Amino acid sequence: MWSFIVALIIGGVSGWLAGKIMNSDHSVIVNIIIGLVGGALGGWLGGLIGIGATGWIGSIVISVIGACLLIWISRKLFK
């Protein structure tokens, strides 16, 4: 249960940060979803190039990178 709550917190923070970086305005729920999916994307891409996240800060950094990439891809696909 604790890991689920931590994942939601990290997802929300990283989704919010990615929204600020990419100049995108979404609701809290969308920010959490973007952050969680971005975290998975960032973790997968980081694993491909040999970069891993350690601790809260590392997880947030990887998630923000993945979420920014996710926002960029969605803008290219849907606009």
- The model's pLDDT over 26-49, given as tens digits with 9 standing for 90+, comes to 788 888 888 888 888 888 888 898
Residue 16 in any domain: the answer is no
Predicted confidence at residue 47, as pLDDT, reads: 85
* Best CA proximity match to 39, nearest among 6, 77, 78: 6
Question: 28-49 and 2-21 helices cross at what angle (nearest 10)?
Answer: 90
Number of domains in the chain: 1
Which residue range forms the structural domain that includes residue 58? 26-44+53-72
Residue 60 belongs to a domain: yes
How many CB atoms neighbour CB 64 within 10 A? Answer: 25
- The answer to whether residue 1 sits within a structural domain is no
Is 79 a member of any domain? no
Could you give the CA distance from residue 36 to residue 63 in angstroms, rounded to a whole number?
Answer: 7
Residue 40 within any structural domain of the chain: yes
CA distance 39 to 50: 16
Predicted TM-score of the model (pTM): 0.84
